Chain A
Amino acid sequence: MSAPVLQATNLVKYFPTGKSPLLHRPTAEVKAVDGVSFTLERGSTLGIVGESGCGKSTLGRLLGRLIEPSSGTVVLDGHDLTAAGNPELRRLRPQIQYVFQDPYSCLNPRHSIAESIATPMRVQKLYGRAEERQHVRDLMERVGLNPEHINRFPHEFSGGQRQRIGIARALALQPKVIVADEPVSALDVSVQAQILNLLEGLQASLGLSYVFIAHDLGVVRHIADQVAVMYLGRIVEIGSPGAVYGNTSHPYTQALLSAVPVADPRGKGTRQRQVLVGDVPSPINPPSGCRFRTRCPQAQERCALEEPQLADRGGGHPVACHFPLA
């Protein structure tokens, strides 16, 4: 097996918050991502799921150093991104590109889509003008847009088409890894399916690797080869979709799955729904020991004292729980 294309080790991001009136220094820290490690195999998709505030988007941004990690390393295809100086970072970044949630706000409304898609190529000074235009046309075709619309502006496109423009732009530098942060959650379901099919097709033809961040467990099950479930800045369970969805080991994953409404009324009476009580605790002061223990139906004394580490506890895939489900 070849080396993984992306490897994150012990990534941590604390955001300072609160101001002491006298010292002008932050008085607390939001522990957004608190020790996350994973590897992404070449040509595969890692899905990251969790509720709002669990740190999944922050994690995504750390991977391409869009924000600086507090500690930890990201190794992209053998190169340590976190240790890279500016010139090296500029050389490495084309290999990791982003697709964001909102196709309305990530395109400049005053730029034609030719300019939007070409900007990354210009930043990297890759091509001359004529060549660049040809590349833009090729990219548009690749993502299912009509190349004749090259001079149109974002407002002339629908949401799904704009997301295609965003994807074309992410492809412009021929990246190895694409971090897609909620790429379909702003779209209608019928259009979501089109974009998911497009992403899968591109992966097959270009050998791309994806980090796919989403809150929709159904979408992630569909597209991912590995699924990581996050809660309060940590991965609580990671494994193949079959393992995480079918052989669930962490009580949080189970609660999350049982909360998803199922589009099939026939099972209505038979399904066991486990409704979590309360809200996610503050990431400024996460609970001692296991972070999920305050809402966990099977929490015991040990859970408050000792933080469970991510390890295979007999379920066949890593889980961070002292008392994993059988």
Chain B
Amino acid sequence: MSGSPLLSVADLRVSFTTPDGVVRAVDGVSFDVRAGETIGIVGESGSGKSVTANAIMRLNFGERVETSGSILFDGIDLAALDDEAMRRHRGSDIAMVFQDPLSALNPFARVGAQIGEAYRIHHPKAPKSEIREVVLDSLQRVGIPEPTKRVRSYPHEFSGGMRQRIVIAMALVNDPRLLIADEPTTALDVTVQAQILELVQRIQAESGTAVLLITHDLGVIAEVTERVLVMYAGRVVEDTSVNDVFSRPSHPYTLGLLGSVRSLDSAGRGSLRAIPGAPPSLVNLPQGCAFRPRCAFDLGEGSACATTVPVLSEVGAGRSACHLGVEVRRHLIEQVGT
């Protein structure tokens, strides 16, 4: 793992002006993705995971959106590009897969034509025969049976899992170096989810594409990612290897998330360690640490927890944003048990 990262996001901020006030959806997020790496972003609704992903693709637009920070992709700052230049990267170097495959596909167009369009836009001089070949090849790669026949089908003729394969085929048609997948399996049943996750892993092994996987499911994170960013209220609160997130979390929120998950082999009943309360409103974040109102280790009024926003600092091989000393935190977390 050497050289400069493929993607380097620095101090990304996205805010939306709403009638209720300014929503700071993403508030100073920085992270790197190296070539070929699989990174997971995990967090609850409203934590800013999707807005971060959309910001990389420059999909948050409109008068009410304000974005700042830099997004270096292979040395080019995507945030500074004009629309025309951005369009050349979007869908070719960086591709995206969304949660709901049905709304990502045009119901009136054959899937072959839709995949072909994604290729043609970035290869305007490609002859029809080449496009056809590329489309068939991409359908084959994602495991659609009988591609020569299915290329002429419409989205409604496929099941949910097959539709998600088509969306993935479309994303891969230009051999992207970074694939952003925003909750790609959330709308699917577990058996189909397993098929899709296996597909993503296989494609990554074959092509060396870096994957940024956004999910709220810690199980999915554990299965496919190497590194994890935990987000809370628009900020990254922990950034570390997947093994450390599960075996030695260093942020109280991460610990809370792990406590809320029921595993298949934990024998039955007994109360779950729920995190009390609900995530804060992004319009009116609490002073100091945003997690403080729900945190079991809060140091109380007048302490750093109540006055200053904690910044990410090095903890072992990762980073974590908490005022408590690392040793104190580890000790407390071990007492609660993971």
Interface residues of A, Cβ cutoff 8 Å to B = 51-52, 158, 160-161, 188-194, 196-197, 200, 215, 217-219, 221-223, 241-242, 245-246, 255-266, 268, 273, 275-276, 279
Q: Is B195 an interface residue (CB 8 A)?
A: yes
A189 touches B257 (CB 8 A): yes
Nearest-CB distance from B225 to chain A (Å)?
A: 8
With known contacts A217-B190, A262-B264, A191–B246 Cβ distance under 8 A: no
B194 touches A190 (CB 8 A): no
Determine which of B191, B216, B246, B268 lies in contact with A256 in the assembled complex, contact meaning CB atoms within 8 Å: B191
A160 touches B189 (CB 8 A): no
With known contacts A275-B194, A279-B162, A264–B222 Cβ distance under 8 A: yes
How far is it, in angstroms, between the C-alpha of A167 and the C-alpha of B265 when the chains are bound? Answer: 28
Q: Please, which residues of chain A bring their CB within 8 A of the CB of B123?
A: none
The 5 A-B residue pairs whose C-beta atoms are closest, nearest first, are A261-B219, A193-B274, A259-B194, A193-B272, A188-B44
Q: Please, which residues of chain A bring their CB within 8 A of the CB of B260?
A: 189-190, 192-193
A218 touches B263 (CB 8 A): yes
**Contact digits for B255-282, partner A, Cβ 8 Å, 1 yes 0 no:** 0111111111111110111111011000
Closest to B279 in A: A188
Grouping DSSP codes into helix (H, G, I), strand (E, B) and loop, the A interface class, with mixed when no group exceeds half, is helix
Closest to A259 in B: B194
Q: Please, which residues of chain B bring their CB within 8 A of the CB of A255?
A: 191
Closest to B265 in A: A245
How far is it, in angstroms, between the C-alpha of A256 and the C-alpha of B192 when the chains are bound? Answer: 10
Closest to B215 in A: A261
B246 touches A266 (CB 8 A): yes
Determine which of B192, B222, B276 lies in contact with A263 in the assembled complex, contact meaning CB atoms within 8 Å: B222
Q: Please, which residues of chain B bring their CB within 8 A of the CB of A160?
A: 278
A188 touches B216 (CB 8 A): yes
Nearest-CB distance from B78 to chain A (Å)?
A: 30
6 CB-based A-B contacts, threshold 8 Å:
A51-B191, A189-B261, A190-B257, A190-B274, A218-B261, A221-B266
Q: Is B159 an interface residue (CB 8 A)?
A: yes
Q: Is B167 an interface residue (CB 8 A)?
A: no
Q: Please, which residues of chain A bring their CB within 8 A of the CB of B258?
A: 263
Q: Please, which residues of chain B bring their CB within 8 A of the CB of A266?
A: 243, 246-247
Q: Please, which residues of chain A bring their CB within 8 A of the CB of B271?
A: 197, 200
**Contact digits for B188-201, partner A, Cβ 8 Å, 1 yes 0 no:** 01111111011000
A158 touches B264 (CB 8 A): no
How far is it, in angstroms, between the C-alpha of A246 and the C-alpha of B222 when the chains are bound? Answer: 22
Q: Is B310 an interface residue (CB 8 A)?
A: no
| B166-223 contacts to A (CB < 8 Å) | 189-195, 197-198, 216-223
Determine which of B162, B189, B257, B265 lies in contact with A52 in the assembled complex, contact meaning CB atoms within 8 Å: B189
How far is it, in angstroms, between the C-alpha of A121 and the C-alpha of B307 when the chains are bound? Answer: 48
How far is it, in angstroms, between the C-alpha of A241 and the C-alpha of B198 when the chains are bound? Answer: 28
B278 touches A215 (CB 8 A): no
Interface residues of B, Cβ cutoff 8 Å to A = 44-45, 159, 161-162, 189-195, 197-198, 216-223, 242-243, 246-247, 256-269, 271-276, 278-279
How far is it, in angstroms, between the C-alpha of A129 and the C-alpha of B243 when the chains are bound? Answer: 58
Determine which of B191, B265, B272 lies in contact with A197 in the assembled complex, contact meaning CB atoms within 8 Å: B272
With known contacts A218-B263, A259-B190, A223–B269 Cβ distance under 8 A: yes
How far is it, in angstroms, between the C-alpha of A259 and the C-alpha of B273 when the chains are bound? Answer: 25
How far is it, in angstroms, between the C-alpha of A192 and the C-alpha of B190 when the chains are bound? Answer: 19
Closest to A49 in B: B190
B268 touches A222 (CB 8 A): yes
Closest to B43 in A: A188
Closest to B225 in A: A265
How far is it, in angstroms, between the C-alpha of A276 and the C-alpha of B264 when the chains are bound? Answer: 19
Nearest-CB distance from B286 to chain A (Å)?
A: 16
A260 touches B246 (CB 8 A): no
Q: Please, which residues of chain B bring their CB within 8 A of the CB of A260?
A: 190, 219, 264
How far is it, in angstroms, between the C-alpha of A189 and the C-alpha of B221 when the chains are bound? Answer: 14
Nearest-CB distance from A165 to chain B (Å)?
A: 14
Q: Please, which residues of chain B bring their CB within 8 A of the CB of A51?
A: 189-192
With known contacts A189-B261, A279-B159, A261–B217 Cβ distance under 8 A: yes
Given A223-B269, A260-B264, A261-B220, 11 more contacts at CB 8 Å? A188-B216, A190-B260, A193-B260, A193-B274, A193-B275, A194-B274, A218-B262, A218-B263, A276-B194, A276-B195, A279-B162
A262 touches B274 (CB 8 A): no
How far is it, in angstroms, between the C-alpha of A258 and the C-alpha of B195 when the chains are bound? Answer: 12
Q: Please, which residues of chain B bring their CB within 8 A of the CB of A257?
A: 264
Determine which of B222, B267, B274 lies in contact with A265 in the assembled complex, contact meaning CB atoms within 8 Å: B222
Nearest-CB distance from A269 to chain B (Å)?
A: 11
Nearest-CB distance from B207 to chain A (Å)?
A: 21
Nearest-CB distance from A187 to chain B (Å)?
A: 9
A273 touches B194 (CB 8 A): yes
B192 touches A279 (CB 8 A): yes
Q: Please, which residues of chain A bring their CB within 8 A of the CB of B243?
A: 265-266
Nearest-CB distance from A251 to chain B (Å)?
A: 12
Nearest-CB distance from B314 to chain A (Å)?
A: 22
A263 touches B194 (CB 8 A): no
Q: Please, which residues of chain B bring their CB within 8 A of the CB of A259?
A: 190-191, 193-194
A222 touches B272 (CB 8 A): yes
Determine which of A215, A217, A223, A262 lies in contact with B222 in the assembled complex, contact meaning CB atoms within 8 Å: A262
Q: Please, which residues of chain B bring their CB within 8 A of the CB of A161?
A: 278
Q: Please, which residues of chain A bring their CB within 8 A of the CB of B161?
A: 279
Closest to A279 in B: B159
How far is it, in angstroms, between the C-alpha of A17 and the C-alpha of B51 when the chains are bound? Answer: 42
Q: Please, which residues of chain A bring their CB within 8 A of the CB of B190?
A: 51, 215, 217, 256, 259-260
Determine which of A263, A275, A276 lies in contact with B261 in the assembled complex, contact meaning CB atoms within 8 Å: A263
How far is it, in angstroms, between the C-alpha of A161 and the C-alpha of B279 when the chains are bound? Answer: 12
How far is it, in angstroms, between the C-alpha of A259 and the C-alpha of B189 when the chains are bound? Answer: 9
Closest to B271 in A: A197
With known contacts A217-B190, A264-B263, A190–B44 Cβ distance under 8 A: yes
Looking at B45, B193, B218, B268, the one whose CB has the most chain A CB atoms below 10 A away is B268
Closest to A194 in B: B274
